[in-house]
Amino acid sequence: MSKISKPQSCLQCPYKWKHLNLLSDDDIRSIRQNCTIIRFKKGETVCKQGTDATHVLYLAKGMVKLYIEGEKNLILRLIKAGEYIDLQTLFGDNSYRYSVAAMDDTEVCMINSEHIRKLAEKNSAYLFELTKVISDSGNYFYKKISDISSKHLRGRLADALLYLADEIYENKEFDLGMTRRELAEMSSMSMENAVRILSELKADKIISVKGKRIKILQYDILKKLSDIG
């Protein structure tokens, strides 16, 4: 964590967050007053499971992982620049149920929660949109929880690869921006098994693997592996 700064103006910010259009120029200026940009280096912890959330976190640059700490970690999702890291703590119980760490060099806007709550309270269109984001983020976990509990190794790793290709990198070829251990933590399996299945998929020519470079060669088959679990 380093280099603390105030944004010049949220209006001109290239990483302008969603729903800013619902706020008045005055409100946006007030956000600037209550916002601090913090830079995190790869690997640094952005927020820690169990602590109290005092700020809304918005990811302006880079990528972070949202994960649950335990004897073995479980990565629930990755967050790209231009997304809220967390809104769940804004209205409900305000302690973090997960930790967040930087996957590369990132910039995070931290806006005082109380301030956002005040803006939301007097602007129901804005609150409405925030609530939508919270709802959808909850909905995402229904599928995740059922996938994790019902699918086998191959299906779960297929899920992780499809998630990376479809949701994160939006490309069938991508640099896996993480270690094999983290890929395993995304798919809830041991690191050795993640490596093994990666090798199997490679041997079956479903994907190509060169170090961190992964290319999905047979998307449909990978999809099928995900489906049959």
| Chain contacts with a copy of itself (rule: CB under 8 A) | 68, 70-72, 74, 76, 87-93, 97-98, 120-125, 127-128, 130-139, 141-146, 148-150, 188, 229
Q: Three-state SS for 227?
A: helix
Q: What is the contact mask toward DNA in residues 187 to 206, using x (rule: CB under 7 A)?
A: -xxxxxx-xx-xx-------
Angle between helix 153-163 and helix 219-228 axes, rounded to 10 deg: 130
Indicate which of a copy of itself, DNA, none lies near residue 150 (CB less than 5 to 8 Å, by partner kind). Answer: a copy of itself
Inter-residue contact 189 to 156 (CB < 8 Å): yes
CB 112 within 8 A of CB 54: yes
Which amino acid, one-letter code, is at 223?
K
CB of residue 65 to DNA, shortest distance in Å: 13
DSSP 73-94: -EEEEEEETTEEEE-HHHHS--
Six-digit token string for 87: 């809104």
At closest approach, how far in Å is the CB of 224 from DNA? 16
Q: Which residue has the tokens 């912890």?
A: 45
Residue 181 binding: pick among a copy of itself, DNA, none (C-beta 5-8 Å cut-off by kind): DNA
Min separation Cβ 18 and a copy of itself, Å: 14
Which of residues 154, 158, 160, 185 is near DNA by CB under 7 A? 154
Residues binding DNA (CB under 7 A): 72, 152-154, 179-181, 188-193, 195-196, 198-199, 209, 211-212
